[in-house]
Amino acid sequence: MSTDEATRNKVTLARFHDAVNSGDPEVISKTIDELAAPDMLFHAPVPMGMTGAQALKQVWTVLLHAFPDIHVAVDDVIAEGNKVVARNTVTGTHRGEFRGLAPTGRSIAYGEIFILRFEGGRIAEIWGVVDVSSQMRQLGAQ
């Protein structure tokens, strides 16, 4: 894979982050349709019975409901071959139900790392490590 392809994949990831930071569910859904393969594989700590791009859309539906002001700050991006790695800091205010917890009004900040594999310019697979323990502790669940 050329440096140009790695750069294009980083730009694709930046487009995704711009969409999710818009806070607009329609923009997020449309962007996921454009950037993610419909049969994308999604490996992350998200308890749901969905797969593919639909799973990614559902994650963002849940997150926007729980944290309407959610923001993903990209701390590092590394691209090599057909993979892009992003280390992010996520912030938001707990305004809706999340993982069985009623809204607390608390602000949270947690880290996550995602590895994305691209195929034909689209996201084909995602592996995610999210600091769920920190989320839950900040929400008073632990």
Q: How far apart are CA 24 and CA 127, in angstroms?
A: 24
Does 19 have pLDDT greater than 90?
yes
Q: Which two tokens stand for residue 59?
A: 């994650």
Provide the whole-model pTM: 0.92
8 A C-beta contact, residue 21 and residue 71: yes
Predicted confidence band of residue 2 (pLDDT cuts 50, 70, 90): low
Mean predicted confidence (pLDDT) in 68-95: 97
User: Per-residue pLDDT tens for 24-42?
Assistant: 999 999 999 999 999 999 8
Write down the mean pLDDT value for the chain: 93
CATH 1.10.10.10 fits 3-138, yes or no: no
Q: How far apart are CA 139 and CA 67, in angstroms?
A: 12
pLDDT of residue 52: 84
